[in-house]
Every structure is written in C-alpha cells, then in structure tokens.
Amino acid sequence: MRTDFDPTQDYPLGTRRPDLVSTPGGLTLGEVTLDSLRRGRLEPADIRATPETLRLQAEVARAAGRAPLAESLERAAELATVPEELLLAVYTALRPRRATLAELEEWAARLEGHGAHGTAEFVREAAVAYAERGLLAGA
Amino acid sequence: MRSRRFESRDRRELRREPLVSPFPELGLVAADGPRDPLPELVVEDGIVTRLDGRAADEFDVIDRFVVAHGLDLEVAEEAMQLPDTELARMLVDIDVARAELVRLARGLTPAKLACVVGLLDPVELMLALKKLRARRAPSNQAHVTNLKESPALLAADAAEAARRGFAEIETTVGVARYAPLNALALLVGSQTGRPGVMTQCAVEERRNLELAIRGLVTYAETLSVYGTEPVFVDGDDTPWSKAFLGSAYASRGVKVRFTSGTGSEALMGHAQGLSMLYLEARCLAAVRAAGSQGVQNGSISCVALVLSVPGGTRAILGENVIAAWLDLEVASGNDAIASHSEIRKTAKLMGQFLPGTDFVTSGYSVMPRHDNTFGGGNFDADDIDEWLTVQRDWKVDAGIEPVREDEVLGVRERAARAVQVVFDELGLPPVTDDEVAAATSAYDSGDMPDRDRAADVGAADELLARGVCGLDVALALDRRGFEDVAEAVLSMQRQRVSADYLQTAAVIDADGVVHSAVNDPNVYGGPGTGYRLEGDRWELLQALPSVVDPSELLGDLATGRAIVVENGEAARGSDPAEVVVAVGPAFADGIRRTIGDLDHGQVIEAIRAGIREGGGVPRLVRVAGVADLAFIGHVGAGLSGSGVALGLQSKGTAVIHRADLEPLDNLELFGMSPLYTLESYRAMGLNASGYALGRRVGPVPTELDNFARAKLIVRTTLLHARETAAVRPEAPPVELELAEPGSS
C-alpha cells in the first residue's frame, strides 16, 4: 500500500489523486485525451482500471465502513487480470448444480493460478455451502 | 338492485386490478406474516449458531451467506439487544446520525430489520428514508427503448433524458442481438445530451459484460436476488454466484447494482409462507453481504401483486428504508406499472418522491409507455409535465428538469446526427436523414421509418466481432465534427480507469466529477440540514416552460376608443321604476371584457334590454371608490329610485342589491362569471326590474362548472387586482353613458 494514500481524503481519485491512477499500459489519466486518441496512442486495453486502482477503491470503501463492498472490490482487483472466458466459466460453475465439488476446486485452483487467492477461497467456501445444501452437480 | 353509484365506480380504471385478502400460506401478506420468525441471533465462540428461528444446520444458502459476509458480529450483540421500538424511534430521531444507524444495521438480522421497520407509519418511513438515503442529493434514472430499436430514436431519447437531468439511462433489447447497437446509440445520445450520464443495456450477463469491456456501457443492475433458497435457485443463481458476478463486473469497471423486491417469491411460488417485507429484508441482507454498492428495490416488476394486499404500498416504502439503512444506494422502483388508477399510482409514488431517494424511479419512461420494452412506463413521456409540476408544487427535487421545446428539439436532432455519423464511420447500416428528422420530433417509434432489421442485427454481430469499442466511437465523432461529444465519450472511458463510480451511490456531473456517498454523503439531521432545494436549482425546477409571467397574462391595460363617457356626479334618482346598473372602477376602461370574454359595451346593452323588458328604467353609474362587488351594488342601490341596483365588476361577476339590505347581503348573486352569456346578463336585468317593481322573481338559471375556479382563479385574481388599482377612494359615483359608436 502506498503510504501517501489517505482513503478518507483522496477520493475521488480521478480528481483528487490522479497521480495515483494509471492505465494498464502505464498512461496517466491526463494522457487519456482526444489528442492521444488522434495520435493513435490509446489502446482499448488502456481503458480499464488496474488491480492497483481497484485496491485503492477497496480501501476507500473500507475506510467508509463498507466492508462487504471493500471485499467485492478486492475480488475485483484480483479478477482484473483474469481473462473474460475464465470469469464467465467460473460464474457458470457457481450457478446451482452446475459443478461437482472437484470441479469447483479446479476452478478455484485456476483462479489461484492468476493470483486470485481471495476469490479462490470464495469459490471453495461456496463449494462447502453447496455440498450441504444439495446445490452441486448431480445432487 | 344495484346502486347507480356503485355501478359507476365499478367502471373506474381502479377496478381493473384485483384487491385480495391476505393469504399468508402463499406469501400474499405484506408484512408481519404469521409465520415470520422472531428476530434471533445466537453466537457461541464467535460462531453464529442460530439466526431468526433457524439452527445452523438448518441454514439455507441465504442464511449462510449473510452470516459469512454480512453480519458484523462486533456490532451484533449491542444492536440485537436494542428493543425494536427503540431502534424504530432512532430511525426517525433527527439527533441520531445516519452513520450511527448504519453502524448498528451491520449487526441486525433480517427479521430484526423487518420488525423494526414494520413499526413505522408512512410518514415515519418517509422521514427515515430521507435521513438514510446514501447520497446527499436525490436523482433519477430513465428508461430509453423503442419497439423498432431505431438507433436515431434511441439516441434522441437518450439525449433528451440526459438534458432533462437523468443521471442514469437504461435501455434493453427486444431482440438480443441488437444489444451492441442499442448500447452504442444510448452512449452517443446520452453524451450529446449531457456529459457524464451513465448508461446500461440490460441483457444476459455474458453479453452485458462484453458491452462493458468495450466501454459501451458503464453500469449494470441485472443481478437479481431472492429471499428464499428455492426461488434463488429457480433464478439459476446463488448468493455466491451473484457476488462473484458483481466482482467480475467491477473488475471491468462496471458500476453494479443488484435488484430485488417484494412479491417475487410469492409470484415464483416459493414464499414459504413468509411475508413480503421479511423476505425482502433477507434479500437486502444478502445484497449487502455480496458487496453490492446498491440495489434496485421497491417491488419493481411485482409491484401490482404487492399492491393487491393490505399495506402493500407501505411495505414497499419499508423495503426502500431497509435498503437505505443497510447503507445501500437505492433505485426505488416506480418503473413497472403499479396501478391503472392515476390517483393510486401517484399516491404510491409520494413515498419515494417526497423524501427523495438515490434514484426516485428505477426507470422513468422518457418515451410513451407502449415503446417501453421493459414493460415499464409507470410514468412516461406524457406525464413529464405533471411530474415537473408536482416537484414545483411540493418544492421537491425528484430528479427531472424542465427543458424548453426548442432546446429539446435541438438536442434530439444533434444526437440523431451524431449517431448517424458514428454509424457511417463504423460502417454500420446507414441512418438516413429522414430518420434523423423523424427522431427529432417523434412522438413514438410509429413515427420512425422502418429499417432493414436483418441488416442491423448482422451489423451488430459484426461490430462485436470487430472489437469496436468506446474509443472507436469517440474517434468517429471527432472525425466528423462532434468534438464535444467525442470528448464526453472519452471522458466516460477515462472514468473507467479511475473507477471512482464503483463507490456507493455514484453519479457523474457534467464536469466529470463523481459524486457518491463517499465524497457527497447525505448528512440530513433535521430542518436546515442536508439537501435543500433552494437557490439556482429551485429557480430551475420552478421555471417550467408553460409558466407565464402574471403581469403578461392579461396584457396591457386596455386602450382605444371609449366605450363609455362619464357625465358628472351621480345623484339619487326619484323614478320608482329606476334600476341602477353600477359598474366597478375599471369597467369599460382599463378592463374592457369580462373573464368570459364578453365585450363590456355589449354586456351593458344586454342588461339594459333586460331591465326595459321587465318594465324598469335603466341608469348607468360608475362606483369608482370601491372594487368590492357587494359595495358596488349597495352604493348603486342607494342611488336608485327603486332602491334596486345591479352591481357589476369588470370581470363580469354581478349582484342584485337593494338599499335597505346590509352591504354583504343581497337579492341574487351571480358568481359564475366565466359561464355567462349576453343572454345571462339580459336575464339578470329582467330580474332586477322585477325586484324593483315588486313582482315575483325566479332565480336566473345558471350553469355550474366546478373547474372554472381551477382554470380561471389566477386570471380572476389579476383582473381584480387591476380593478382594485383603479379605485379612487375619494371619488364620488358618476353617471355613465354608453359612447356612440364612432365617438371618441
């Protein structure tokens, strides 16, 4: 965590702390301009929040007393670099009676492979609940 | 036998929808269901062992999820031991801060939340909602759709919605493959209308996520949750799958709002005998636990079911309060049609409209409701002036701004042009000039030329395949001279980088600054605090295009050729057949027509003809010293040889008076001046004559128009003010003669 960041004072990041925000390609907010676009310097991949930015937003939410929102944003930070297809596959697996216990564990491991440890634990926690409530595949 | 009045009422719009008695077994009970559990929380060694009537081994997925991610056990013990009534009073106590209530709510179980809110009456609920709303200022969300999925019309409607102040605009599709085109039209239109407006396209999750990744939409509220496990599972989700999806959206920079609402469990057949409000409390606890910043709630699509049971409207307001208490952004329903009855619909609306919510409706239908493919349109294009007027009446900001017709036409045309050039630049099927023109002035999609829909959906598929994104849209606009719209579209892309709008209740202003519950929180603490509608905003919301300057309503003082000439001070007459016609100070002078638009000269002619027909002798007098009708008549009667006079104000109100009566008494009063014809005035003259000559007189037949006052009271006031201004207190009554035509 950056020591110069105060989650109770530095929000909105875009207007109060643009220095803390950059695109995945390393552009500053101030470089996301029409002029850059005209010069071909903006890529679609630049137009999203980095994991670091999402973690800062999670800190803002936590400092405002919103722990569950902060946890969701922390998962979002982990998922920011997870490919879309994996996101959608994990979502599908988490739907009722789609996956076995072993399959959910596999998806959790895949997430861990992308560094999404917290989200992987979240999937494992779901698997336990599904097992007890008959929501696993074949149940 | 049938009562004609009952029969008449049976035909009212209201009676098209059934009211039912409570049927708790099916969940058809608004609140306080006989099977609702008592609030309960048992924690042993830091583990929740009982929750709201269930032991841990009986917990369903909702209980488990709320225990794992929602309930704050550090607060729970303190909060749960507070009596329901004490918590209920804290909700309406302006000296108990929102922050304190929100802190306690983290430790309350769903049953406790439902019980406490169930103690509040409607006005208390409104005060609680006003206090608990997350964001300082209320706002509103629009629906923009049309049956033809016309891109020009979508863009024009989105632009109008944005210009009218909606902070969010939501579209959907009739045909799923249209999604990228509709999202594109909404993005371009909204940013033409007002930079910073957030947009969404409600479609299946995979497609939705794809649109978001492309930067074509900025928020989603399609994540539905339910209050019982079987319904949740029938909805093909669990709290874990929904929470994961919410995080996945956030990871792509999408603002996420969940959806829940009373009545859905009963509708889907698994209410488990529990009340609507209790089940919604469970939904909301799960929404908060899932880490959603907010919720669309207030029954939403099941509103008519909830309104069928006693206390339904109150329960819906109660669920909004629970959501706000749980620190969630609330988009408070009022989108699906609640009732056939305009009275009932509006009465229901007041619960959210008066206190103000983060989004007063979850979708105000900017177009006529038959073009609303959400099946919404509780309030629609035709209702906008009513909405604006009610805001003005109550001095309340419910998130919609008045805009002049020429400005609306201008922004609609520009948005349709903008989407035209974007379609052209991106190689999509052309938007024709005819479509632009039609979209500018359209009432509905029936006014729009037909498009080749097969070509459109083909192009939509191709658009996705080519990976077209928000940057391409900005570039297309920039190339074709829409630099400001290009900048606005790019600014929405920039917002995704900083992700500030992921915080609770975020909206974006025209300068690109995010306002959320973090940096712009609601701190209402009683009169004089919190959001007040005042200053420029109040000036804006009262200045409806239809408002007229009262000084201009009547036009200038009348001038021109004289209708009457004054002929010296009036003396008392001696002819016992004489009937004085006494007119007010401005009569036939500064005012020359009655409120019923009759010429004063002709009115006098008619009255004199009536008097003569009855055998009386008319004499015309002006009473310049007073504007009050009773005194005009009474002064006239004092001058009349018969003692009878007909008093006449300039606006046309008349009285028959007699000298021996008290001034405020009279023989006949004619107060319906807007309805009178020259024949009415002739009949008044005839009656005055009858009184003067001692004949039996029947009242002048008059009609009754109960709406005359509503229509004309402002004009009446202004006319009377002009009459009053003409009063010369010291001036004696004067004789009047009708001027000969042609004299000056």
User: Percentage of residues in chain B with pLDDT exceeding 70?
Assistant: 99
Residue in chain A nearest B246 by alpha carbon: A72
CA distance B359 to B219: 14
Instruction: Among A12, A71, A79, select the one facing B251 at the smallest CB separation.
Output: A79
What confidence category does residue B704 fall into, taking pLDDT thresholds of 50, 70 and 90? Answer: confident
B195 touches chain A (CB under 8 A): no
First to last CA, chain B: 69
What confidence category does residue B363 fall into, taking pLDDT thresholds of 50, 70 and 90? Answer: very high
Q: In the prediction, which pLDDT does B741 show?
A: 63
Element (H, E) at B99: helix B98-105
**pLDDT tens sequence across B654-699:** 999 999 999 999 999 999 999 999 999 999 999 999 999 999 999 8
- In this prediction, residues A64-93 reach a mean pLDDT of 97
- Asked if the Cβ–Cβ distance from B248 to A23 is below 8 Å, we say no
Is B210 within 8 Å of B220 (Cβ atoms)?
no
Q: How many residues does the structure list for chain B?
A: 744
| B413 min Cα distance to partner chain A (Å) | 24
- Predicted confidence (pLDDT) at residue B701 exceeds the cutoff of 90: no
Residue B141 annotated as catalytic: yes
What six digits make up the tokens of B572? 């008392």
Q: DSSP characters for B260-294?
A: --TTHHHHTT--TT--HHHHHHHHHHHHHHTT-SE
Is B319 within 8 Å of B353 (Cβ atoms)?
no
State the catalytic residue, choosing from B36, B63, B141, B589. B141
Q: In the prediction, which pLDDT does A86 show?
A: 96
Helices (H), A40-83: 51-63, 67-79
A131 touches chain B (CB under 8 A): no
SS3 B668: strand
Instruction: Among A72, A79, A88, select the one facing B290 at the smallest CB separation.
Output: A72
- Predicted confidence (pLDDT) at residue A106 exceeds the cutoff of 90: yes
Cβ within 8 Å of A, B 663-682? none
- Asked if the Cβ–Cβ distance from B498 to A49 is below 8 Å, we say yes
- In this prediction, residues B532-559 reach a mean pLDDT of 90
Q: How many residues does the structure list for chain A?
A: 139
**pLDDT tens sequence across B450-488:** 999 999 999 999 999 999 999 999 999 999 999 999 999
Contacts of A37 in chain B (CB under 8 A): 471, 474-475, 478, 490
pTM attached to this predicted model: 0.95
- In this prediction, residues A46-50 reach a mean pLDDT of 93
Cβ within 8 Å of B, A 48-107? 48-49, 53-54, 57, 60-61, 64-73, 75-80, 82, 84, 87-88, 90-91, 94-97
**pLDDT tens sequence across B308-359:** 999 999 999 999 999 999 999 999 999 999 999 999 999 999 999 999 999 9
Domains, chain B, in order of start with CATH, read 31-132 (1.10.220.70), 564-738 (3.40.50.10150)
Distances (CA, A) of B475 to A38, A134, B487, B583, B691: 7, 52, 9, 73, 86
Instruction: Among A72, A84, A94, select the one facing B250 at the smallest CB separation.
Output: A72
What six digits make up the tokens of A131? 């097992």
State the catalytic residue, choosing from B139, B362, B445, B642. B362
What confidence category does residue B728 fall into, taking pLDDT thresholds of 50, 70 and 90? Answer: very high
Q: In the prediction, which pLDDT does B560 show?
A: 82
B327 touches chain A (CB under 8 A): yes
State the catalytic residue, choosing from B160, B170, B229, B628. B170
Residue in chain A nearest B251 by alpha carbon: A76
User: Percentage of residues in chain A with pLDDT exceeding 90?
Assistant: 94
Contacts of B254 in chain A (CB under 8 A): none
CA distance B208 to B523: 35
- In this prediction, residues B280-291 reach a mean pLDDT of 98
Contacts of A108 in chain B (CB under 8 A): none
Contacts of B290 in chain A (CB under 8 A): 68, 72
SS3 B312: helix
Size of interface A-B (CB pairs under 8 A): 207
What six digits make up the tokens of B194? 């007002």
- Region of residue B77 (left: phi > 0; alpha: psi -120 to 50; beta: else): alpha
Instruction: Among A14, A71, A123, select the one facing B498 at the smallest CB separation.
Output: A14
- Asked if the Cβ–Cβ distance from A64 to B502 is below 8 Å, we say no
What lies within 8 Å, CB to CB, of B523 at 6+ separation is: B97, B98, B136, B529, B530
Contacts of A67 in chain B (CB under 8 A): 72, 106
What confidence category does residue B555 fall into, taking pLDDT thresholds of 50, 70 and 90? Answer: confident
CA distance B291 to B255: 12
Cβ within 8 Å of A, B 245-304? 245-253, 288-293
Q: Amino acid identity, residue B376?
A: G
Is B354 within 8 Å of B126 (Cβ atoms)?
yes
Domain boundary assignment for chain A: 1-81, 82-139
Residue in chain A nearest B247 by alpha carbon: A76
- Predicted confidence (pLDDT) at residue B740 exceeds the cutoff of 80: no
Q: Give Dmax (Cα) for chain A.
A: 57
Q: Give the residue among B678, B685, B681, B670 at the shortest CA–CA distance from B612.
A: B685
Contacts of A90 in chain B (CB under 8 A): 244
| A4 min Cα distance to partner chain B (Å) | 17
- Predicted confidence (pLDDT) at residue B743 exceeds the cutoff of 50: no
Residue B157 annotated as catalytic: no
- Predicted confidence (pLDDT) at residue B702 exceeds the cutoff of 90: no
Cβ within 8 Å of B, A 28-57? 29, 32-34, 37-38, 42, 44, 46-49, 53-54, 57
Q: In the prediction, which pLDDT does A30 show?
A: 94
Test mutation, B103, B251, B479, chain A, max A CBs within 10 A: B251
Q: Which residues of B554-593 are buried (b: 16+ CB within 10 A; e: fewer)?
A: eeeebeeeebbeeeeebeebeeebbbbbbbbbbbbbbbbb
- Predicted confidence (pLDDT) at residue A2 exceeds the cutoff of 70: no
Residue B296 annotated as catalytic: yes
SS3 B569: strand
State the catalytic residue, choosing from B191, B296, B516, B649. B296
What lies within 8 Å, CB to CB, of B155 at 6+ separation is: B185, B186, B188, B189, B192, B415, B416, B418, B419, B439
Looking at the DSSP assignment, which residues form a beta bridge with residue B28?
B23
Looking at the DSSP assignment, which residues form a beta bridge with residue B44?
B47
State the catalytic residue, choosing from B52, B149, B221, B472. B221
Cβ within 8 Å of A, B 526-585? none
Residue B32 annotated as catalytic: no
Mean of the per-residue pLDDT values for chain A?
A: 95
- Predicted confidence (pLDDT) at residue B492 exceeds the cutoff of 60: yes
Which CATH architecture best describes the domain A82-139?
Orthogonal Bundle (1.10)
Whether omega before B733 lies within 30 degrees of 0, making that bond cis, reads no
**pLDDT tens sequence across B178-233:** 999 999 999 999 999 999 999 999 998 889 989 999 999 999 998 999 999 999 99
Instruction: Among A29, A72, A119, select the one facing B497 at the smallest CB separation.
Output: A29
CA distance B617 to A58: 93
**Residue B658 backbone phi and psi in degrees, to 5:** -135, 145
CA distance A88 to A71: 20
Contacts of A132 in chain B (CB under 8 A): 64
Contacts of B103 in chain A (CB under 8 A): 65
Count helices and strands (H / E) in chain B.
Answer: 29, 20
What confidence category does residue B742 fall into, taking pLDDT thresholds of 50, 70 and 90? Answer: very low
Q: Amino acid identity, residue B424?
A: D
Contacts of B288 in chain A (CB under 8 A): 68
Is B649 within 8 Å of B723 (Cβ atoms)?
yes
| Dihedral of alpha carbons B18, B21, B22, B27, sign | negative
- Asked if the Cβ–Cβ distance from A95 to B467 is below 8 Å, we say no
Q: In the prediction, which pLDDT does A3 show?
A: 61
- In this prediction, residues B624-638 reach a mean pLDDT of 97
Test mutation, B500, B504, B515, B516, chain A, max A CBs within 10 A: B500
**Residue B105 backbone phi and psi in degrees, to 5:** -60, -30
Question: Where does residue A100 rank: exposed (0-12), middle (13-18), buried (19+ CB within 10 A)?
Answer: middle
CA distance B366 to A123: 41
- In this prediction, residues B549-578 reach a mean pLDDT of 89
Mean of the per-residue pLDDT values for chain B?
A: 96
Residue B723 annotated as catalytic: no
- Predicted confidence (pLDDT) at residue B558 exceeds the cutoff of 80: no
- In this prediction, residues B423-429 reach a mean pLDDT of 98
